[in-house]
Copies of this chain bind each other. A is one copy, B any other.
Amino acid sequence: MNNNLRGRVTIPTDSNITDDIKRAINLWGADAIRDCDGTKLDESILNLGVKVYSTYLTTRSDQIWANNNKDELQELYLMSEPSIAKSELLEIDIMKGYYKEQFKVDTIHDEKKWWQVIDRTTGKTIENNKWILDKKNMKVIIKDATLWHEYTVNFLVYMIWDPTQMYNHITNNWGDKPHELPYDCRQPKTQKHILNLLDNWLENNKDVDVVRFTTFFYHFTLCFNEEAKEKFVDWFGYSSSVSPLALEEFKKEKGYELKSEDIVDEGYYNSPFRIPTKAFKDYIDYQSKWVAALAKEMVDKVHYANKEAMMFLGDNWIGTEPYGKYFESIGIDAVVGSVGNGTTLRMISDIPGVKYTEGRFLPYFFPDVFKEGGKPEEEALENWIQARRAILRKPLDRIGYGGYLGLAMKFPKFLKTVEKICDEFREIHENIKGDKAYTPKFKVAILNCWGKLRKWQTNQVAHALWYKEIYSYVGVIESLSGMALDIEFISFDEIKKNGIPEDIGVIINSGDAYTAWSGGEYWKDSEILEKLRKWVNDGGGFIGIGEPTAYQYEGKYFQLSDVLGVDKEIGFSLSTRKYNKLEQNHFIIEDLKTKIDFGESMKSIYTKGDNSRILAMEKGDVALSINTYGNGRAVYIAGLPYNDENCRLLLRAIYWAFNKENDMKKYYVSNEKTECAVYEKVNKMAIINNSKEEQETEVYINGKVDRKIKLNPTEIKWINIK
């Protein structure tokens, strides 16, 4: 390591490897260590002057309590698998398809009050006197069912296995290790208990400097099926935060009653892809307000004990809502989260109101990667390269790794790679001295139903996981996460309420039709259309990706097809002839050498209006096009998976859309495998090579080629700009 720089790095520990820990601290310049569950640290380590983090499991550390208070376990709403009535007497096995070791039906609370039996053919809830619950067989029996209608039951279950422990248990074959039960901190008895527990713990853990809450009170939704495999996973899901108590208190606070269906949502469970209902938005507000209040009590205790409070962004993070209005009131000192890519990095590093942020990098020190013949250094380097460009925009304050340190120490190439990463990371901080990377004066806004609340969380199902249906959209925010632009996330409600903020230059609407990401029914709202049309006409830039502004209504599918200059053929206008013509040259595609990868792309897009021009087609459909609209401009892109070329394409599209082509090269590198970030206050430019090959690039400063430089594979190079 560069011996002039130390710190900003956290390492995991392990039992009986004191020497390894010392070696790693020295090699990587670590200044903090994270204890593993049940590990006791050697005095000689504590004396090294490193900070000690300790994981704190708020909802399951006391399993005796859990077992003695099973009526205070966490609950969730499930929907039974749909059943078709083949006779008037319909029996529904409500637990069919669910993992019985994870859930136990709640037979304590009155099912007639808390459950709903719904005819999914008509959408109507069945009257309570038309069904009974057979508690012995856990079947709901419907009398007078309408033949051939489909029925489901919304029912409450207790969670009898914590999802994270269950996941690890099953994945790692922990055999007869006891299942941990999660308790619900909203229950007054349990709430008092967990606060006492924390007091005791703080008393008994004097050596700990940082309490790493993992996390607070409610887990994201994770359900397993009868074969103990994943059935449902929603990293943003609130289904596991419900209980009769929570719903009763909701009514008191919000003045109206939630039904089970407000949570179950036809079996979609308010996935963030759904246009959020008022009830669900209210529920998030209600729950996150409560979470913040109780979390604050815990954090206050930690502070009183002269320790720092850190929150892990994951697992039981539901209700913390780092970009919500209550988060800062918790007073947490730091947030740590797993860094899967640039997007997840920004999701952590942009969190407001904390003293510092920390990213846990990949790979984990687990035997699946750290095995004979494994090349963990490759994953580490890839992870670093994808994250680094985002770090240059908004750095994390710290980085770290997780898992079993002893495993990693046997891989010298890996140790070397991480050493280099740690040095590079510290060097960034050393060079930029807290300066913010240069961005142009205008901001880019991602417009969807969620706005700021889901900053860097759009189009996602589970943390950094790849899905065929999302990668062509996730590429948009992944590209933006490392671009020299200030990014906002705004919602339709905000636009309705406050209009479009002054400093926005370009608005991006990106997603599939009828999802919360593109906006669905909001595009039938004339107020939104009026505001956006006027704004573009006055000079704004609008970029649509996939099925932007889609809502079939009054002769068009893309409601802003006039702005975008394209629409999608869904069959109704096949009689209208389409005359698509391709243009060869344009600023947006100027230095693209390879064929553009539109990912899943989009079928049946065609141009509309007099000003629309096509820049690329896929199988006869428009894949990339531009339009002018008064003083404004619009760009349509069929899909934008993340890669170097698409990153550049998006950058060019943004500058073109806002009519600022001439400003793009203020600070610029010509080779799309490279990027640059400029820190004007400290007179420095970082140039990164995002590829594993040597690259040469022209470097633009103030719009002119300043020099030509060569970069080694993955290199970061620093130059002075004056």
Contacts and interface: CB of A to CB of B under 8 A. Distances in A.
Contacts of A603: 600
Contact of A571 (B86, B515, B556): B515
B630 A86 contact: yes
A574 B470 contact: yes
Interface stretch (A117-125, A367-375, A405-413, A439-447): A117-125
A292 to B, nearest CB: 25
Contacts of A570: 512-515
Contact of A232 (B267, B512, B577, B619): B577
Contacts of A268: 555, 572-573, 575
Q: What is the interface residue range for chain A against chain B? A: 35 or more
Interface string A578-603: 01000000000000000000001001
A534 interface: yes
A234 interface: yes
Given A229-B579, A555-B82, A573 B120 contact: no
A2 interface: no
A221 interface: yes
Interface in A393-446: none
Interface in A478-532: 511-515, 526, 529-531
Interface stretch (A168-176, A210-218, A461-469): A461-469
Nearest to A621: B468
Contacts of A267: 555, 573, 576
Given A266-B555, A529-B148, A555-B82, A572 B515 contact: yes
B461 A574 contact: yes
Contacts of A562: 82, 84, 150
**Secondary structure class of chain A's binding surface, majority of residues:** loop
Given A150-B562, A268-B573, A530-B147, A468 B555 contact: no
B574 A467 contact: yes
A702 B572 CA distance: 46
Interface of A: 79, 82, 84, 86, 118, 120-123, 146-150, 152, 221, 225, 229-234, 237, 266-269, 271, 273-274, 461-462, 467-470, 511-515, 526, 529-531, 533-534, 537, 552-556, 562, 569-577, 579, 600, 603-604, 619-621, 630
26 contacts: A79-B555, A82-B555, A82-B562, A84-B562, A120-B555, A121-B530, A121-B554, A146-B526, A147-B530, A225-B577, A231-B577, A266-B555, A267-B555, A267-B573, A267-B576, A268-B572, A271-B574, A271-B575, A273-B572, A273-B574, A461-B574, A468-B604, A468-B621, A511-B571, A512-B570, A514-B571
Given A233-B577, A271-B572, A461-B575, 4 more contacts: A232-B577, A266-B555, A268-B572, A511-B571
